[in-house]
Structure 1
Amino acid sequence: MNYLFETSSILLTLKLGKVELLYGQYINVLSLYELGNIIWSEVYVDKKLGEDDGKLMLDVLRRITNYVNVLDIRGLESQILDVSLRLGLTFYDASYIVLTKNYNLTLVTEDSKLQEKASRLVNVCNVHELISR
């Protein structure tokens, strides 16, 4: 089975040391931007990470992209807007649903609101459910 990992689930796989779950699977290109912002925030705003640790995390993220399929939303904007309006989700969240549906994947997310709404259109699970399969 193939999965599209939403940002919250990518982050959880890294924190759990379960990065192997990502190999050969799919991510939304937008997740790279969001993960970059999370790392920036932990270094610059929250001071939870030092600059060197932030750069190390970015390097790990860069290396992971060599082993996953990175999907782009270009050409899907109209479908994404339709789904976002129908389900009352942000364009960003709806992009995960449209990519999941168009590529016949299962969405992996830790976001309970996204899980609930996405489950109307696609198969959904979270990282802990995936680990237990």
Structure 2
Amino acid sequence: MAAAARLALLLLLLLGCVDLLQGVRYLLHCPPGWSYYKLSCFKYFRQLRSWDEAEAQCQASHPGAHLAWVEEPREAATLGKAISYHQRTQPVWIGLRSPRQRSPCRPRHVGRRSATFERRGWARGPAR
């Protein structure tokens, strides 16, 4: 009976280690200097670029990389915290535009994702 209990405990510990190791595998998946969030890696670049230039720089920095795509408020908060480690005083624009702008916005496609994004809480930008 004690041997069966020890075996069951050992199996539970091994299953826990496998779960832990899978998390480590994803953390080790990110290149040096990149941040990890929900199976994705993020990197902050200081240089000011247009959207197209920034996308090209991002793609050149690592195979398969694209500009950040924020899908939920929690992800936006996490990305904001990661950016604040690099830049504390200046606002950061990640390429989103309000569809209410007077200038037309052509849709962007990153991989299979459309650029349409439902977002509230926009910061004020420069007057155009």
By the TM > 0.5 criterion, same fold?
no
Q: Which of the pair has more CA radius of gyration? A: 2
Give the TM-score of the pair, scaled to structure 2. 0.24
Higher relative contact order (CA 8 A, sep 6+): 1
Give the TM-score of the pair, scaled to structure 1. 0.24
Structure having the larger proportion of residues in helix:
1
